[in-house]
Amino acid sequence: MAAGVSISTTDIEFDNGYFDAAGFAAQTLASARSLATVIDHTLLKPEATREQVEKLCSEAAEYGFACAMVNPVWACTAASVLAGTGIPVGVVIGFPLGASLVSTFRQEVATLARLGAKEIDMVLPIGQLKSGNHQAVEHTIRSVASATHHHGAILKVILETCLLTVEEKLRAAEIAIQAGTDFLKTSTGFSTGGATSADVALLRGVAGARCGVKASGGIRTLADARVMLEAGANRIGASASVAILRELGEPIGQ
């Protein structure tokens, strides 16, 4: 894990290999402000415009979200809008197929870090995993993790759980942790399915307190977020972030 990076944004701590999902969920859901700190406010649609990206970043700053997650082409725009706010820029790479060359992944990390990205969400090489080439998967993730941490950023590895068997999910999660990821992430939101509570619980079972778990894909309501947090997620990826906060029925914003 990158030096100085915390995978929990509340006072609930990882202790002796155990993550208190119930305690973390209860504390996180206690207020809109605390819930916002675990949500990656996300806009990854290919048709997203500059105006929409700028709005996303303004909302991330206003509500205090964990980060604003955008596509690489918008990294510079996001960094400009968020400058001085304390809200990090998150960017996806190898997205959504996970079929990039290792050299491409590393170049993306270096370039995006220079543009101001502090959180990197990569899609692991799904085809190589399903081909049983675990060494290649580990090499790819380790290379990206090394580059990401070198630039002081954190890495989330997207498994695309809807395309994997249970055995493949377990194997991918362990490979990613051993290779240095800071978070296991369920989904891109662009494949055949998104996050499920069963997958989040499975990933947390593998991770324990070794890394974070991000639930992403199809999380549109407060009820959805609650289920994922109670299953063991300590980060949520969502585009309906503001609507989710409003469901708590209290004033929001910083």
Judged against a pLDDT cut of 90, whether residue 1 lies above it is answered with no
pLDDT tens-place string over residues 62-85: 999 999 999 999 999 999 999 999
Q: What is the mean pLDDT of the chain?
A: 93
Question: DSSP for the chain?
Answer: --TT--S-SSS---BTTB--HHHHHHHHTT-HHHHHTTEEEE---TT--HHHHHHHHHHHHHHT-SEEEE-GGGHHHHHHHHTTT-PPEEEEESTTT----HHHHHHHHHHHHHTTEEEEEEE--HHHHHTT-HHHHHHHHHHHHHHHHHTT-EEEEE--GGGS-HHHHHHHHHHHHHHT-SEEE---SSSS----HHHHHHHHHHHTTSSEEEEESS--SHHHHHHHHHHT-SEEEES-HHHHHHTT-S----
Q: Which residues pair with 119 in a beta bridge?
A: 90, 154
| Least confident span in 18-22, 183-187, 196-200 | 18-22
Judged against a pLDDT cut of 50, whether residue 5 lies above it is answered with no
C-beta separation of 179 from 145 below 8 A: yes
Catalytic residue chosen out of the listed positions 40, 121, 199, 224:
121
Catalytic residue chosen out of the listed positions 40, 185, 199, 224:
185
pLDDT tens-place string over residues 9-49: 333 455 566 899 999 999 999 999 999 999 999 999 999 99
- The answer to whether 121 is a known catalytic residue is yes
Judged against a pLDDT cut of 80, whether residue 7 lies above it is answered with no
Catalytic residue chosen out of the listed positions 118, 156, 169, 214:
214
pLDDT tens-place string over residues 217-227: 999 999 999 99
Query: What pLDDT sits at residue 34?
Result: 97
Query: What pLDDT sits at residue 254?
Result: 52
pTM more than 0.85:
yes
Judged against a pLDDT cut of 70, whether residue 124 lies above it is answered with yes
Cis peptide before 125 (omega within 30 of 0): no
Query: What pLDDT sits at residue 14?
Result: 58
Query: What pLDDT sits at residue 18?
Result: 85
Domains of the chain: 21-246 (3.20.20.70)
**CA nearest 153: which of 96, 115, 100?**
115
Q: Which amino acid is at 166?
A: V
